[in-house]
Structures are given as structure tokens and as C-alpha cells.
Chains A and B, each alone.
Chain A
Amino acid sequence: MDNTMNSKYKTENINESISWKDLTPGLQIYEAGTSKQFMTGEWRVNTPVIDFEKCKQCLLCVPYCPDSSIPVEDGKRLDFDYDHCKGCGICVKACPFGAISMKEGK
């Protein structure tokens, strides 16, 4: 990260109350991974739930997730990242072992 970057341009300082003078030119974003700050999990109506008893850790669900909301560590998937999971349910269809099911609500 460029330490000389004007700190007013840090995404944590950009919000819907600041002046047009404090925005980056062209709304460029000078940091990586800023979509993490956007809690798309709030959009979720139905929620996927994993049953680790049935899960064989084949990891097929991981590439299917359109929101990268299935974290993987040491070759094993963890529980869903509910901050960002929108509840689309694709993982349910992708799982060959019926380990993921949708529950109503958050």
C-alpha cells in the first residue's frame, strides 16, 4: 500500500456525507478488496446452512459461489461468510452430497 496516499482517499473515509471535493478523481479506488466493506449479506432472504456431517470437503460449492462467501482454509471449507452471502442457493444445487440446505429467513 502506498503510504503517501492522501488519507482522505481511503475508502474508510469515503461515505455518503462527504463533499464532492473529497472524492477521488473519477471515483477511482486506491485499495484492494474494498468490496469486503460492502455487507451484501444484508440482502439475504433465505440462508444456506451446511451440515458438516454430510460434507465430504469436495469443495465443489466453493467455485460455484458467486459471492466468494465460502471461505477455505488448509484445504477445507469453513462455515459461510454470512456478512456477504446473498442467499442465492446455488451452493445447494452444487453440493453432490445434500450437505447444504436452505432455511427461511436470515
Chain B
Amino acid sequence: MAIKERMSGNEAVAFAIKQVNPDVMPAFPITPSTELPQFVSNYVANGKIDTEFIPVESEHSSMSAAMGASAAGARALTATSSCGLALMWEMLYVAASSRLPIALALVNRGLTGPLNINCEHSDSMGARDSGWLQVYAENNQEAYDNFIMAYRVAEHKDVRLPIMTCMDGFITSHAVENITLIEDDLVKKFVGEYEPEHYLLNEEEPMAVGPYAVSNYCMEAKRAQAQGMMNAKQVFLDVAKEFEQISGRKYGLFEEYKLDDAEYAVVGIGSAMGTAKDAIDALRAKGIKAGLLKVRVFRPFPGEEMAAALAGCKAIAIMDRCESYSGNGGPLGAELTSALYRAKSKAEIINVVYGLSGRDVKVEDFENLYGELADIAVNGVKDTQYRYLGLRE
């Protein structure tokens, strides 16, 4: 029997961590993810789990310690936000290239500056090319579910890459909402024991991790790493299918909401996409064919699949909760536009930067955006293709 509860996103992910009972969690606190290590250390102190909790002196250290633990053969994780992730930067790449299946519970917050603590995806988007798998949540339920599925994907022999499970800072991490939890034993069985083929503490097999790679090997190593990322697409789908059997909840690489016959589509990531769903229902009641594609898996990037799902749309707004300062739009905009081009899409496309530094997004904002898309479908894109939503002009 599923367990009905109400929890904040941080509580939900901490609860998932408790159920998974990983071996080692080094962590350093930073808003809005601070509660995560706090809850986990409570579980440890109360004897609920036997995870080794390591209070380290910085995020560079937390990722380093997680890598050491993972290489040693332990199931390791950490949690962070914003500048904490930035301080891990060097180590993120090493974790991925060393093929260590570490989990990182990321609570999305903008990178400084200006100094701000609120929700934005600039932290994880900045790390999008670090070789980590990235999966995003709309709400506490998805954040919980994503964490439970995380190790199954990361540790898969065809993947062997670290995974970042992302949820929106404060909006998801600190809001109490209804959630349906899975029983401990089902989670334990689903996640299983971590049995790495090779690990440092195996006295039968001495090994070395992270050797220097000369040019004659390094490019091949990177290509092999890229293959792990590509393989992850199918593994994400397989794991989601199995997860559905214990949870009844269906997950793909992305979610399509009323997209089948949609003429106007919004594509985006995270909590605001729930808000978009309410706008879509209101517009559908008026006969306007609005739809949504909510990205769940961003790394690997399901470009072809998304382009196929958007094939019937006349106008598409790609939403970025992140300014990439390319002068050409945000990361999702850039990557999806390129995928649509390769799929020979005829749709009009705009790239909308929204919700920066916690700027709120309302149902009306989406209704207006769909109105704009309807106009664009007929009259084409006026002004610039890359624009801001909710900005004081």
C-alpha cells in the first residue's frame, strides 16, 4: 500500500535517501539544500540508517570525499546548491571521467551574482557539460521518485556516470505538498545492493583510479564516456518502466501534457511547468490547442525524441530558467532549437528566459505566452527570437 504523506521537497528527498540507505554522504551546507544533509544526519544520529555522514569543510571536499568513497566501492552521495556546486566544478568532471556513479541531490538556486538565494537553473545548467546525468523534478513527488531511480541509472554497467537529481530551490524544496511514498522494503528491493565490478577496497584486485591520460588515450576515454551518456537514455526508460511497477507512476525522458494535438507548445523544466498545466487547461476550455513538453532528463539530451513529440506544433516557446549570457538564448533553447532544425521542423520557435533569481511565474504569464504563440504561428516571430518573460521593461 502506498503511503500518503505531506512533505517539503527537501524532506521528500531526505526520506528517499533514508530508504536507499547509501554508504557515505559527505556534505557542506548551503541554502536552500541545507536541510538535506541536516535531515540525513538526524537519521544517522537516530540510528535509522547506517550511512557514514562526513561533515566536510567545503563543497570541493564533499565531492572529493564522495569520489573517494565511490572509488572505494561505496554508494556515495552529496547535496548542494548554487555556489556550492560551483565550488565542486573541478571535481564534477573528475567524478564523471572516472566513471563514478555518485548521486548529487541538487536544489537549484541561481549562481551569484548578483547575490541571491532563490530558484534558478543556472547552477545545474552551468554543469551541463560536466558529464553528469541530469534529471529534473516538477514537484516533491518527482524529486522523491527521481532520487529512488537515480542509482539504478548511474550504476548501470552501460552507463557508469554520476547523476544529479535537481529540484527547484524553495519552490519545491521548502513547500509542503501531498506526496505518495513507497514502502521501505519495495524501495530497498528496487534499488538493490551496490556491487561494483571493480573497487579500490577489493584486496583481490589492486587497481588505480584517475590515472594521467596522455593525448594518445584521452580522446578515446572521452568518447567512451560519451557512450555511457548516450546509453543512459535507454537505461532511464528501462528503470522508469520498472519503477512504474512499484509506484504506479509513469516516467519518460520528458512528460507530454496535452501535446498530442497541440498547435502551440511550451517546453520547459521544473516547478513552473505545473503552473503551465493549469494555464493549458484554461485555454483548452476555450478551444485553444495548447500543450506542454516538460523536460525530465536533460543529460543525456533527448533532442530527437523531443523534436518528434513537437512535430505537430505550429509555434513553440522554449523556456530557460537560466541566462547563459551567450547573447543567443538559454541552454535548453540552444539545444532544442538545434534538434528541431535537424528534424526539419517547420515550427516557429522563440526562446523565453523566465523566473530568474526566484522571479515568480503565474498562470496568466503562461496564458499570455500561449496567446503570443498563436500570433506567432500566423504572423511569424517579430522582434527577437530570444526574449524575457516577467521583466520590467
Report B72 CB to chain A, min CB distance, Å.
Answer: 13
| Contact indicator per residue, chain A 21-35, by CB within 8 Å of chain B (1) or not (0) | 101011111111110
How many residues on A have C-beta within 8 angstroms of the other chain's C-beta atoms?
18
List residues of chain B with CB within 8 A of the CB of A25. Answer: 99, 160, 224, 228
- Which B residues, 91 to 133, have Cβ-Cβ distances below 8 Å to chain A? 97-100
Give complex CA distance A29, B99 in Å.
13
| Apart from A2-B205, A20-B224, A25-B99, 11 more pairs, CB < 8 Å | A1-B205, A2-B204, A20-B219, A25-B160, A26-B97, A26-B99, A26-B100, A26-B160, A26-B210, A26-B225, A28-B209
Give complex CA distance A71, B189 in Å.
52
Q: List 8 A-B contacts (CB under 8 A).
A: A2-B204, A20-B219, A20-B221, A20-B224, A26-B160, A27-B210, A28-B198, A29-B207
B205 lies within 8 A of A26 (CB): no
List residues of chain B with CB within 8 A of the CB of A19. Answer: 220
The residue on A at minimum CB distance from B202 is A2
Give complex CA distance A2, B197 in Å.
10
| A51, CB-defined interface residue at 8 Å | no
Q: Which of A28, A31, A33 contacts B99 (CB 8 A)?
A: A28
Give complex CA distance A1, B99 in Å.
22
- Which B residues, 193 to 217, have Cβ-Cβ distances below 8 Å to chain A? 198, 202, 204-211, 213, 216-217
| B223, CB-defined interface residue at 8 Å | yes
Give complex CA distance A33, B207 in Å.
9
| Contact indicator per residue, chain A 14-50, by CB within 8 Å of chain B (1) or not (0) | 0010011101011111111110000000000000000
A29 lies within 8 A of B220 (CB): no
Give complex CA distance A28, B70 in Å.
13
B204 lies within 8 A of A26 (CB): no
Q: Interface residues, chain A, CB within 8 Å of chain B? A: 1-2, 5, 16, 19-21, 23, 25-34
List residues of chain B with CB within 8 A of the CB of A27. Answer: 210-211, 213, 217, 221
A31 lies within 8 A of B206 (CB): yes
Residue from B224, B225, B227 with most neighbouring chain A CB atoms (10 Å): B224
B217 lies within 8 A of A30 (CB): no
- Which B residues, 180 to 202, have Cβ-Cβ distances below 8 Å to chain A? 198, 202
List residues of chain A with CB within 8 A of the CB of B160. Answer: 25-26
- Known A16-B217, A23-B217, A25-B160: A30·B207 in contact at CB below 8 Å: yes
List residues of chain B with CB within 8 A of the CB of A2. Answer: 202, 204-205
List residues of chain B with CB within 8 A of the CB of A31. Answer: 206-207
The residue on B at minimum CB distance from A19 is B220
Give complex CA distance A44, B208 in Å.
26
List residues of chain A with CB within 8 A of the CB of B210. Answer: 26-27
Give complex CA distance A19, B219 in Å.
11
Give complex CA distance A28, B209 in Å.
5
Q: Which of B206, B208, B224 contacts A23 (CB 8 A)?
A: B224
A23 lies within 8 A of B220 (CB): yes
Give complex CA distance A11, B221 in Å.
15
List residues of chain B with CB within 8 A of the CB of A26. Answer: 97-100, 160, 209-210, 221, 225
- Which B residues, 141 to 159, have Cβ-Cβ distances below 8 Å to chain A? none
- Known A19-B220, A20-B220: A30·B205 in contact at CB below 8 Å: yes
Residue from B98, B202, B205, B210 with most neighbouring chain A CB atoms (10 Å): B205
The residue on B at minimum CB distance from A14 is B217
- Which B residues, 322 to 381, have Cβ-Cβ distances below 8 Å to chain A? none
List residues of chain B with CB within 8 A of the CB of A33. Answer: 206
Give complex CA distance A28, B210 in Å.
6
List residues of chain B with CB within 8 A of the CB of A34. Answer: 208
Give complex CA distance A2, B204 in Å.
6
Report B63 CB to chain A, min CB distance, Å.
Answer: 16
- Known A26-B98, A27-B213, A27-B217: A20·B208 in contact at CB below 8 Å: no
Residue from A16, A26, A29, A31 with most neighbouring chain B CB atoms (10 Å): A26
List residues of chain A with CB within 8 A of the CB of B209. Answer: 26, 28
Report A28 CB to chain B, min CB distance, Å.
Answer: 6
List residues of chain B with CB within 8 A of the CB of A23. Answer: 217, 220-221, 224
- Known A26-B97, A27-B211, A27-B213: A32·B221 in contact at CB below 8 Å: no
B224 lies within 8 A of A29 (CB): no
List residues of chain A with CB within 8 A of the CB of B206. Answer: 30-33
Q: Which of A5, A21, A28 contacts B208 (CB 8 A)?
A: A28
Give complex CA distance A2, B209 in Å.
17
Q: Which of B99, B216, B224, B227 contacts A16 (CB 8 A)?
A: B216
List residues of chain B with CB within 8 A of the CB of A32. Answer: 206
The residue on B at minimum CB distance from A33 is B206
